[in-house]
């Protein structure tokens, strides 16, 4: 009979559409929000909510999705990640069925930062949905400035609220910059890994290799 083929030794030749859509959706949104639009603008807040939705979908997909998209396929393991980087330096690399251990650590670092950025963003806007932000801005534009006055129980809680928002703002900015640094490292990592493994790691995240 036919020899049984093992598919487990190599990463997928094409990631499933949920992984690809969430990956590129988040990548584009983060770059856009970091570089091109104004913090606190309606567009910035909307993209933030989009990132939150994509992140949530990816996390649920990490539990319910196909095998290589599940967290169990790439558990966070710093020791294995370091070992993998060591192998990479010596030129001998193993192939993994999902993300390699170093890539997996990068994925979790991204998710932690994205979660932190969205949560601090929500604190800064007081949890206002883009619809509410738009209404507020429309009200202010039409001369009704009462929308700017925050409802609060008393002076002390308002001060507390402000300090919380201030902290959130600091964290938001620091983590956003961290995200950009991670993105740069990620791109370098993909490049180095592609050369060491002699396989194109970008194609599976785009459309896969065209079969003849």
Partner 1 sequence: MTVFPDIQTAGRRQTAALSIFLVVQTLGTVFFVGDVIGDLRADPLSVHFIFEAVVTSALVLGILFGIFALRRTIELLRAQDQALAVARGALSDVIDRQFQAWALTPAERDVGFLALKGLDVAEIAEMRGAAQGTVRAQLTRIYSKAGVSGRAQFAAFFVEDLLGAAVPEAQAA
By CB under 8 A, name the binding residues for partner 1: 1-5, 7, 16-18, 21-22, 25, 49-50, 52-54, 56-57, 60-61, 64-66, 127-132, 211
C-alpha dihedral over 181, 182, 187, 190, to 10 degrees? 150
Q: Exposed/middle/buried for 172, CB within 10 Å: 0-12, 13-18, 19+?
A: buried
Residue 1 C-beta: closest distance to partner 1, Å: 6
Closer Cβ to partner 1, 157 or 177, answer by number: 157
Residue 35 or 207 with smaller CB distance to partner 1: 207
Residue 203: C-alpha distances to residues 112, 135, 211 (Å): 26, 42, 12
Measured from the CB of residue 60, what is the shortest distance to partner 1 in angstroms? 6
Using left for φ > 0, alpha for ψ between -120 and 50, and beta otherwise, residue 207 falls in alpha
Return the number of the residue (87 or 208) whose C-beta is nearest partner 1.
208
Name the 3-class secondary structure at 7. coil
Q: Nearest approach, Cβ of 135 to partner 1 (angstroms)? A: 12
Q: Which is nearer to partner 1, 11 or 25 (CB)?
A: 25
């Amino acid at each position: 009979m036919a020899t049984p083929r093992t598919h487990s030794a190599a990463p997928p030749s094409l990631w499933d559409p949920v992984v690809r859509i969430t990956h590129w959706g988040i990548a584009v949104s983060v770059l856009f929000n970091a570089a091109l639009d104004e913090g606190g603008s309606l567009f910035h807040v909307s993209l933030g909510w989009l990132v939150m939705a994509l992140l949530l979908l990816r996390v649920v997909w990490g539990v319910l999705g196909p095998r290589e998209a599940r967290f169990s396929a790439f558990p966070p393991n710093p020791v294995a990640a370091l070992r993998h980087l060591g192998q990479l330096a010596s030129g001998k690399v193993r192939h993994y069925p999902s993300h390699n251990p170093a890539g997996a650590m990068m994925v979790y670092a991204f998710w932690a930062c994205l979660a932190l950025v969205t949560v601090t963003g929500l604190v800064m806007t007081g949890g206002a949905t883009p619809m509410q932000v738009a209404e507020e801005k429309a009200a202010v534009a039409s001369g009704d400035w009462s929308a700017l006055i925050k409802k609060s129980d008393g002076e002390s809680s308002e001060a507390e609220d402000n300090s919380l928002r201030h902290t959130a703002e600091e964290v938001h900015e620091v983590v956003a910059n961290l995200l950009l640094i991670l993105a740069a490292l990620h791109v370098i990592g993909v490049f180095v890994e592609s050369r060491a493994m002699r396989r194109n790691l970008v194609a599976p995240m785009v459309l896969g290799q065209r079969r003849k």
